[in-house]
Amino acid sequence: MQKSEIENEIRAIRKRHADAVQKGFAKVQERLATSSREHARVYRALGIDDKTGLELDERHMEARFVYTHAGRLMESISRTCIVSTRNAKSKVKVPNICGPKPKSFEIDVLADETDGIEVKWRDATTDGDHITKEHWRVSSVKEAGYKPIRLMFFEPTGKEAVKIQDQLAAEYPLIGGEFHRGPAAFDFLKDYTGIDVLALLP
């Protein structure tokens, strides 16, 4: 694909996910209009009035749609850039060599038959099991014969989440991998594919 075609596809991807978020917001309004508000008793016990409680529920439900589609958007854009410019395929599974579950890990994009690229828009996870599995993922991708590369486009804000990402960032180079975060992730994708994704975001 030509660069202009890839950029147009990225714009189309943006629109699809933006439309999906708006549809999700409409569903939130439908659910709130028909759902029981009995749990607002607890809100009131905490000094939160009914109007504020309803707004909290609305924002919480809307945020779930936004966070889900933020991750899918950045993964889809990254995959489109790489698959369109390199010898690449998406959703490649490798066996988990470190533990019983999960049985395998999925590489978001396998490029040039060597680079196992994982895409995160922003990883704010602090759950212990998730952290362990992230360590297992890196080792399993390496053992499968691929170079683990992690792209995280935006930094988490929580202190513990940042600490975990620091640990992962230190681990990747130790086994011959790469960890690119923040602006460096956008720079990597631009150098790797020739597409300036950051310039295509509003």
Instruction: Point out which residues pair with 178 in neighbouring strands.
Output: 149
| Crossing angle between the packed helical segments 128-143 and 159-174, to the nearest 10 degrees | 20
What's the number of CA atoms in the CB half-sphere (13 Å) around residue 33?
A: 6
Please tell me the predicted confidence (pLDDT) of residue 120.
Answer: 94
| Predicted model pTM | 0.90
Predicted confidence pLDDT, tens digits, the chain (202 residues): 899 999 999 999 999 999 999 999 999 999 999 989 999 999 999 999 999 999 999 999 999 999 999 999 999 999 999 999 999 999 999 999 998 889 999 999 999 999 999 999 998 777 778 888 888 999 999 999 999 999 999 998 888 889 889 999 999 999 999 999 999 999 999 999 999 999 999 8
CB proximity list for 9: less than 8 A, separation 6 or greater: 1, 80, 84
In eight-state DSSP terms, residue 143 is H
CA–CA distance, 9 with 16 (Å, rounded to integer): 10
Q: How far from 99 is each of 57, 105, 129, 132, 137, CA to CA, in Å?
A: 38, 11, 12, 10, 10
Q: Are 167 and 160 in contact (CB under 8 A)?
A: no
Tell me which residue has tokens 């029981």.
36
Residue 113 burial class via C-beta count within 10 angstroms: exposed 0-12, middle 13-18, buried 19 and up: exposed
Domain boundaries, the chain: 3-200
Q: How many CB atoms lie within 10 A of CB 104?
A: 12
CB proximity list for 168: less than 8 A, separation 6 or greater: 134, 135, 138, 150, 179
Q: How many CB atoms lie within 10 A of CB 40?
A: 17
